[in-house]
């Protein structure tokens, strides 16, 4: 269920990240694109986790310290790879 939110109030997600992660995000994603970029990744992750088969496997891999490559699961990453394959032909 999507909840309507007043335009002046949006939920925030605050997480701790490493200095290396911060530096990489600042270097790789233009400042004005970070919210859209992280939002797209979160949408993809939520869609993945809504599938019980993938959710259990994904959570197990993270819990055991073996985080999966997002490209192994991500529809967004697969689309990027497919588009790159088409362009290289």
Q: Measure the CA dihedral 26/32/33/39, to 10°.
A: 100
Kindly tell me the sign of the dihedral angle through the C-alpha atoms of 20, 34, 78, 87: negative
Q: Is 3 exposed, middle or buried (0-12, 13-18, 19+ CB in 10 A)?
A: exposed
Residue 13 counted as domain residue: no
Domain total of the chain: 1
Q: Please check whether residue 24 lies inside any domain of the structure.
A: yes
Place 87 in a pLDDT band, splitting at 50, 70 and 90.
confident
Instruction: Kindly state whether residue 1 falls inside one of the protein's structural domains.
Output: no
Find the domain containing 32 and state its range.
19-88
pTM of the predicted structure, to 2 decimals: 0.66
Structural domain includes residue 8: no
Residue 7 belongs to a domain: no
Is residue 3 domain-resident? no
Q: Does residue 11 form part of some domain? A: no
The tens digit of pLDDT for each residue in 5-32 reads: 666 777 888 899 999 999 999 999 999 9
Asked if residue 10 is part of any domain, the answer here is no
């Amino acid at each position: 269920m999507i909840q309507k939110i007043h335009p002046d109030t949006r939920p925030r997600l605050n997480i701790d990240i490493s200095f290396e992660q911060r530096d990489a995000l600042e270097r790789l994603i233009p400042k004005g694109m970070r919210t859209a970029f992280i939002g797209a990744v979160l949408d993809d992750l939520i869609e993945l986790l809504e599938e019980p088969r993938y959710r259990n496997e994904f959570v197990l891999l993270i819990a055991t310290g073996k985080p999966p490559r997002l490209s192994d699961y991500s529809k967004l990453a697969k689309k990027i790879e497919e588009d790159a394959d088409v362009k290289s032909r």
